Structure 1
């Protein structure tokens, strides 16, 4: 990617063993970045690293649950030790809820979804920030999903977590712009990935949300979402800060 400003930069991509995240890791490597591939899936993360290396790129793997502090610390330490710092953080790893309405959301569903989708990116961003100001050009890009800007694309847990991501983006943009660090997010529409859905179609939440989800029938591919992530992290987006970019073929406008 000529003129992207990503050549030689250290990039962490979470969830990079599959889907949008894997596509993003490959595109960052193609642009000349050095990539930390972080994922719970050891085999998937290993395949991503091997593909990057096969194409002449540089990548290392960190395996573990990013909602655990020890794994977060390992990811940041690996970027610093292997590549000399941390320039770009892509907070992409996440899970879906059961599309449960609030009254039907159990403690376990709420705590797991919020932990993975909101607390884990918070922990990783907090750990990464001390290594970014020295670079003076840090970029943090989150995945907010359609549940970030609206209330009709997921259940109570995922909607609350993704709205929290939007708030984190805006807070980071205000607090760290003076240090040359930008924070943005993408809000993907329906995308052809392997994310698992465990939904009771007879429950209240899916019954209410279903008609709205039918409007998202134009499916994007992981590579298209990844291109938006890479753009927001690149030099071309150097004046974009605090933004949430829909990548949904206009679904959010309906």
Structure 2
């Protein structure tokens, strides 16, 4: 198994791409921790993993609260001993609001979830990874982090910022055994996107279809495995060719 006995923490794992990642990581042998503000949903995913013979733990966390994040990390270390893989999947969308349509409260909310929470959790997890000389962080960005027009002002800026943060982490900590990469999904069929898919033309996608959350999960598994051990600081689009146009 590619990830046998690795401890993988997946934020936002109660649904959508996070759930698909949790199931895929467990299938490959990882001990999965699903960290989500939706504890009931996270527990349902844990139950599904356990029924299929995997190992998983659900934890409730408010990703905007540094103290809660640190407490969660300490619980994981106490229960499982270490954290090998962190998948920063939790995120929110801004429904294509332009800059003039975006309030200060909207901006802060998007950035607190999509960027600040990842900074806080990564800083909480990194010291343990550095002390062992090994660890993987995968940040779920978006094609909106590579081009304009796939999100609103705050979302686009936050996802561009996440790619910059990914590159910073890799540039500083790669020499200490830490691998940090970003995944940039295009339009993926998830519960979050189901209400807007009818308004998105597939003609803009060379593959002429939307992506599936399982496809993103498979890429995350690869990046977390030793098969990708020389990949660092990359921002990988998985978008049916949208960004090559």
Give the structure-2-normalised TM-score.
0.93
Q: Would you say the 8 A contact 1:65–1:71 is kept in 2?
A: yes
Deviations 1:94-119 (A, max 9, x none): 00013122122111110100110000
Structure 1 spans left out of the alignment, 5+ residues: 200-209
When the two chains are superposed, the root-mean-square deviation of aligned CA atoms in Å is 1.8
Pairwise CA distance, 1:166? 0.4
- Residue of structure 1 equivalent to 2:191: 194
* Equivalences for residues 115-134 of structure 1 within 5 A: 115-134=112-131
Q: Would you say the 8 A contact 2:91–2:114 is kept in 1?
A: yes
- Residue of structure 2 equivalent to 1:231: 222
CA distance in 2, matches of 1:79, 1:179: 22
CA distance in 2, matches of 1:45, 1:34: 14
- Residue of structure 2 equivalent to 1:222: 213
Q: 2:82 aligns with which of 69, 81, 85?
A: 85
- Residue of structure 1 equivalent to 2:142: 145
Pairwise CA distance, 1:134? 2.8
Q: Would you say the 8 A contact 1:96–1:196 is kept in 2?
A: no
Pairwise CA distance, 1:70? 2.8
Q: Would you say the 8 A contact 1:14–1:38 is kept in 2?
A: yes
* Equivalences for residues 167-206 of structure 1 within 5 A: 167-195=164-192
Paired residues in the alignment total 241
CA distance in 1, matches of 2:26, 2:8: 9
Q: 2:11 aligns with which of 2, 11, 14?
A: 14
- Residue of structure 1 equivalent to 2:50: 53
CA distance in 2, matches of 1:185, 1:39: 20
Give the structure-1-normalised TM-score.
0.90
Q: Would you say the 8 A contact 2:18–2:90 is kept in 1?
A: yes
CA distance in 1, matches of 2:42, 2:4: 22
In structure 2, the CA distance between the partners of 1:211 and 1:190, relative to structure 1 (3 Å rule), is closer
Structure 2 spans left out of the alignment, 5+ residues: none
SS state of the match for residue 27, structure 1?
A: helix
CA distance in 2, matches of 1:159, 1:167: 13
Q: Would you say the 8 A contact 1:96–1:197 is kept in 2?
A: no
- Residue of structure 2 equivalent to 1:251: 242
SS state of the match for residue 134, structure 1?
A: helix
In structure 2, the CA distance between the partners of 1:198 and 1:20, relative to structure 1 (3 Å rule), is closer
SS state of the match for residue 58, structure 2?
A: strand
CA distance in 1, matches of 2:155, 2:8: 26
Pairwise CA distance, 1:64? 2.6
SS state of the match for residue 105, structure 2?
A: helix
